[in-house]
Chains A and B, each alone.
Chain A
Amino acid sequence: MVTNVTNFSRSGLYDWMAQRVSAVVLAVYVLFLLGFVVCNPGLGYAEWQALFSNNAMRIFSLLTLVALSVHAWVGMWTISTDYLTPMALGKWATVVRFLFQAACGVAMFAFFVWGVQIFWGN
């Protein structure tokens, strides 16, 4: 039996779980960062730089990048398999969908590398 090969974990249940776990990480990071910016109205470069060069923050940011990569892949995969279908696109749907997913994967990988450079390079 052939099952899906382009989804994240080759199992809908694991994808579902990965989506939830990564979502919680992303939510905590976003709320923390928004809270930090809102609580520091006259934010200067020194404080901003100190926050992101803190080792705990670097690890937190890297964890968030991993979570973002997983979350974005499962999300874009779900959308592409729902809308880029033969019903919508005809016989080239599989090719279009695969290319779309490949582009999403390459973009997300580039975002990940860029993020690592920002969080660990500065």
Chain B
Amino acid sequence: MIKAVNSQRPVNLDLRTIKLPITGVTSFLHRVSGIILFFGIAVLLYGLDKSLASAEGFAEVKECLTSPLAKFVIWGLLSALLYHLVAGIRHLIMDMGIGETLEGGKLGSKIVLVVSTIVIVLLGVWIW
């Protein structure tokens, strides 16, 4: 196999041929949410720019956020943010040496999914 990058990093497995375990699912979601957030920065900066520029801009943003579509977009973006945050906190906990075993990793992934689902639902309740 051709090496992708000239380094000593371990070579990635072909993801198309393996079924992801739960730890892989949470890791993949962490990456997907990161990509969503990278593009979401533009949306958030646009809203922030407008809301800070003038009182009219602020009112416009507030008005826009009452529409179902805008609510859904903001809910989606903030859901990605909250998932990324929860999964990121788990990384920091694992960096301290907690939950690094195979069983610990599986349990940690389950906790990430449960906790992030709860905060995403709460976020939805808060938005609507």
Contact = CB atoms under 8 A, between A and B. Distances in A.
Interface of A: 2-4, 12, 20, 23-24, 27, 30-31, 38, 44-45, 48-49, 52, 68, 72, 75-76, 79, 81-87, 93, 104, 107-108, 111, 114-115, 117-118, 122
Contact of A93 (B4, B42, B48, B49): B4
B5 interface: yes
A83 B16 CA distance: 11
B51 interface: yes
Contact of A76 (B1, B7, B38, B42): B38
B101 interface: no
Nearest to A85: B4
Contacts of A115: 45
Contacts of B49: 114, 117-118
Interface in B1-50: 1-2, 4-7, 9, 12, 14-15, 31, 34-35, 38, 41-42, 45, 48-49
A87 B53 CA distance: 48
**Which label, helix, strand, loop or mixed, suits the secondary structure of the A interface?**
helix
Interface residues of B, number: 34
Interface in B42-96: 42, 45, 48-49, 51-55, 58-59, 81, 85, 88-89, 91-92, 95
A75 B92 contact: no
A98 to B, nearest CB: 11
Contacts of A48: 51-52, 58
B126 interface: yes
Contacts of B81: 30
A84 B85 CA distance: 25
Given A20-B91, A76-B34, A76-B35, 6 more contacts: A23-B88, A45-B59, A76-B38, A82-B12, A83-B15, A86-B2
